[in-house]
Amino acid sequence: MEKTIDEKQQGNTLVMEPKQENSRKLFIESYGCAMNFSDSEIVASILAKEGFNTTQNLEEADLVLVNTCSIREKAEQTVRKRLEKYNAVKKINPGMKVGVLGCMAERLKEKFLEEEKIVDLVVGPDAYKDLPNLINEVEAGRDAINVLLSKEETYGDISPVRLQTNGVSAFVSITRGCDNMCTFCVVPFTRGRERSRDPQSIVEEVNDLWDKGFKEITLLGQNVDSYLWYGGGLKKDFKNASKMQKATATNFSQLLKLVAEAQPKMRIRFSTSNPQDMTFEVIEVVAAYPNICKHIHLPVQSGSDRILKEMNRLHTREEYFKLIDYIRELMPECSISQDLIVGFPTETEEDHKDTLSLMEYVKYDFGYMYAYSERPGTMAARKLEDDVPAEVKQRRLAEIVKLQREHNHFRTQRFLGDTVEVLIERESKKSSEHWSGRTTQNTVAVFPKENYKVGDFVNVKINDCTSATLIGEAVGHSEK
């Protein structure tokens, strides 16, 4: 899966409003992508009906769950350290049960349960509805495991509990799984084949969030552009659908319209896109609706056609530029962000220069950049030697990070002197006297609090900036 949240947001302990009738305590942490955070909200909702309230106090928990990520080696190492911590606490509180959820659970099931004996239950991304049964198994003294991947499960019938939310922004999951088979990615093996959620259930969830006071939602999927609802079933089976199913199917551009029109005052974001499935029609819908945010996260992974082919990315450099050009043509104000991997097997200096030149062409507003790390089970791990030396990877990574920072500053400077709409999300991390929020382009802006409050849409005049943050002063509420 493509990167959808900042690394700094990883490892959040999630807490919901307690129910008085619930007597058991659940401690749940999430690592990795936004989809994992969204899944944890589904898990909390399921377990709330089983008598669990969430807690931030690990020591008092009856059940400890960690929702895991296998995208990068660093994420797995972090989770292992957390499991060591959980088991140290378990010696003090022997009644406490520990479980692993998500992508790492599926990949390392036997190792966790049988070899290392560091967990009591292992639950894959499609098996969360089985948690009550699995917990009963554990309480009866048996190890419990369910990592079966589903062809149907979308959790569209579960109303997620909004955990540790600011009450302003929320995730809405629209697809599960992935069919793309990028050679560096483990997601198709840990989350299964791609299937989409009923659009009506998505619209109902968005309407419910608006009624609860939320002002912004992010439509989530491993690859949102690939969304396709034709009555249920796997994306790959659409070719076998009936004429009626095909005629009444809903694709991503149509879903975007449905959501934007259902709540015209709510900000709509989406993540993550894939260039091979992004259509001009989607770009046109983003341009047409003022409440769809003018920011597109469009991971490219490499600027080299040769490396893109090795990665099994089904787009070329030239096709990517056509998307960029169309976005710029329809929405000059739209921000574009990236995911990039350096040091993929066989990457040469010429390939690396292609990536740098692509960055110069696009001048991304921001991005997520990583040195390649081999993930067990992926096609790259099976067929390609990790042959780029670590020091070369780090040097190339430093070069693209440096260039991206220059582009960050170039992009934030364009706002100087402008007045932009900002949705207030929280107090500034650096000053209790300032609010922090984001523009439609997903750029962070800070400004003095005055009489404004979290959840307000405020017009802010930009007087200064850093490479990542706009600094200004409020000049009044926006029309929203």
**Among 113, 88, 97, which residue's Cα sits nearest to residue 47?**
97
Tell me what the mean pLDDT of segment 257-267 comes to.
98
Q: Band the pLDDT of 237: cuts 50, 70, 90.
A: very high
Q: Is the Cβ–Cβ distance between 375 and 70 less than 8 Å? A: yes
Nearest one of 299, 75, 310, 339 to 184, comparing CA atoms:
310
* 334 is annotated as contributing to ligand binding: no
Give the model's pLDDT for residue 5: 33
pLDDT at 289 over 90: yes
Determine the pLDDT at residue 10: 42
Who wins on pLDDT, 44 or 165?
A: 44
169-414: CATH homologous superfamily?
tm_1862 like domain (3.80.30.20)
Compute the 3-state secondary structure of the chain and give helix, strand, coil in percent, each to the nearest 5.
40, 25, 40
Q: 7-146 in CATH: which number?
A: 3.40.50.12160
Residue 2 has pLDDT above 60, yes or no: no
What mean pLDDT comes out for the span 444-461? 97
465 known member of a binding site: no
Q: What is the pLDDT of residue 241?
A: 93
Mean pLDDT in residue range 54-65 = 92
For CATH 3.80.30.20, the residue range(s) in the chain are 169-414
Q: What is the mean pLDDT of the chain?
A: 90
Provide the pLDDT for residue 21: 72
**Least confident window among 87-96, 139-148, 281-290:** 139-148
Task: Reply yes or no on whether the pLDDT at 376 is more than 90.
Answer: no
Does residue 4 surpass a pLDDT of 50? no
For residue 394, is pLDDT > 90? yes
DSSP SS3 for 27: strand
Q: Is 293 flagged in the annotation as binding? A: no
Give the pLDDT confidence score for residue 108 in this predicted structure: 74
Say whether pLDDT at 79 is over 70. Answer: yes
Task: Quote the pTM value.
Answer: 0.83
Record: fold of 418-477? OB fold (Dihydrolipoamide Acetyltransferase, E2P) (2.40.50)
Q: 134-143, 159-168, 259-268, 388-397 — which is least confidently predicted?
A: 159-168
343-354 mean pLDDT: 98
Q: Inform me whether the pLDDT recorded for 137 exceeds 60.
A: yes
End-to-end CA distance of the chain: 34
What is the location of CATH 3.40.50.12160 in the chain? 7-146
The answer to whether 103 is annotated as binding is yes
Average pLDDT over residues 304-309: 98
The answer to whether residue 173 scores a pLDDT higher than 80 is: yes
Q: What is the pLDDT of residue 83?
A: 86
Q: Give the CA angle between residues 291, 294, 295 to the nearest 5°.
A: 130
Over residues 258-267, mean pLDDT: 98
| Weakest mean pLDDT among 67-76, 184-193, 277-286 | 67-76
pLDDT category, 165, cuts 50, 70, 90? low
Give yes or no for residue 69 having a pLDDT over 80: no
Are 444 and 465 spatial neighbours (Cβ–Cβ below 8 Å)?
no
